[in-house]
A = this chain, B = another copy of it.
Amino acid sequence: VRENDLIRWIGEQSRNAFPPAWVGPGDDCAVVTLGDERLLVTTDQVLDGVHVDSRRHSPAEVGRKALARGVSDIAAMAALPLCATATAAVPRESNDAFVQGIYRGLRGAADELACPLVGGDLAAWDQRLAVSVTIIGRPDGIEPVLRHGAQAGDALCVTGALGGAWQHGRDLTFTPRIAQARQLADTVDLHAMIDLSDGLAIDLKRLCAAGGVGAEVLADAVPIHPDAADLAAALGDGEDYELLFALPEAQAERLVADQPLDMAVHRIGRIASATDVLLIGLDGSRQPMPDRGWEHGR
């Protein structure tokens, strides 16, 4: 099964399937109207052997990751979480402590992230653990920031530093950038934003494709996390759950000078009108952004 082709096919099927004010599949969250209110919805799954490894990760770590990943999608639109639901399909031979651990991980993250876990479903089966989480969010006075909207000439910025997250377990402990996204939305004009789940290389291409634009990233400007081996790791490892956003250049300059957030903001490049996504070397060399960094035998 070729997931990306099928996800694209599903996106095509969904076109014009919703009221014009709604945002459907293809962004970090859907946006739906309810009376005078709007709400955001995102859903995601954590599968044993794909996104986690239950032989290495505790059930509480799996639960926490499942919920926090969803909340990161809410952050990517500068919204606040409202509530969450979760389903868990657990191996039939699981003991109570295993299932309670998953709940405690979900619930702990729900409490920590102010995203009450209001419902769920539990079923046992003969297969491995699958946890699926839906998060509902609310704009609360901030217009949802979509993936499209980046304009040629915009600056590209990221929060934090990238790479080495899953190798060092940061994917199990990260805090979704809700507060930072809200503060950014209050401070600058966010033209487009996405959270970095699959790595800067892939997620930047998504942001560019959504906006029909391209980008030039300065290799030297990408903030490499101390956990990361090198630039390729920072571009390709994924699971950073940091924010990548486009904004007017003058605002980016001020943002980087002022550093108003409780974490670093780095300017890493600019949006271009041509749809290529390029990596610019210190020597001025221009190469296509790799599809991902090293595979690390993952």
| CB-contacts of A161-203 with B (<8 A) | none
Q: Which residues in B have their C-beta under 8 angstroms from that of A297? A: none
Provide the bound-state CA to CA distance between A100 and B17, in Å. Answer: 17
Residue in contact with A1 in the complex, picked from B35, B43, B92, B118, CB distance below 8 Å: B92
Provide the bound-state CA to CA distance between A169 and B82, in Å. Answer: 37
Interface size class of A (residues with CB under 8 A): 35 or more
| CB-contacts of A18-34 with B (<8 A) | 18, 22-25, 29-30, 32, 34
9 closest Cβ contacts across the A-B interface? Answer: A30-B118, A132-B132, A134-B134, A43-B85, A127-B127, A30-B119, A45-B87, A87-B132, A1-B94
CB atoms of B3 and A124 under 8 A apart:
yes
CB atoms of A6 and B107 under 8 A apart:
no
Provide the bound-state CA to CA distance between A124 and B30, in Å. Answer: 22
**Of A7-15, A242-250, A252-260, A271-279, the one touching chain B:** A7-15
For residue A41, CB closer than 8 A to chain B, the reply is: yes
Q: Which residues in B have their C-beta under 8 angstroms from that of A121? A: 43-45, 132
CB atoms of A6 and B118 under 8 A apart:
no
CB atoms of B37 and A34 under 8 A apart:
yes
For residue A126, CB closer than 8 A to chain B, the reply is: yes
Q: How many copies of the chain does the oligomer comprise?
A: 2
For residue A267, CB closer than 8 A to chain B, the reply is: no
Do A99 and B1 form a contact, CB below 8 Å, given A132-B87, A134-B134?
yes
CB atoms of A86 and B35 under 8 A apart:
no
CB atoms of A10 and B134 under 8 A apart:
no
Closest to A85 in B: B43
Q: Which residues in B have their C-beta under 8 angstroms from that of A116? A: 17-18, 22, 24
CB atoms of A134 and B85 under 8 A apart:
yes
Residue in contact with A136 in the complex, picked from B91, B92, B130, B136, CB distance below 8 Å: B136
Q: Which residues in B have their C-beta under 8 angstroms from that of A94? A: 1
CB atoms of B125 and A29 under 8 A apart:
no
For residue A57, CB closer than 8 A to chain B, the reply is: no
Do A43 and B10 form a contact, CB below 8 Å, given A1-B92, A127-B128?
no
Can you report 21 residue pairs joining A to B where beta carbons are below 8 Å apart? A1-B91, A3-B124, A5-B96, A6-B122, A18-B118, A24-B119, A30-B83, A30-B118, A32-B118, A35-B36, A36-B36, A39-B39, A41-B134, A42-B119, A43-B134, A45-B89, A45-B123, A47-B123, A47-B127, A121-B132, A127-B130
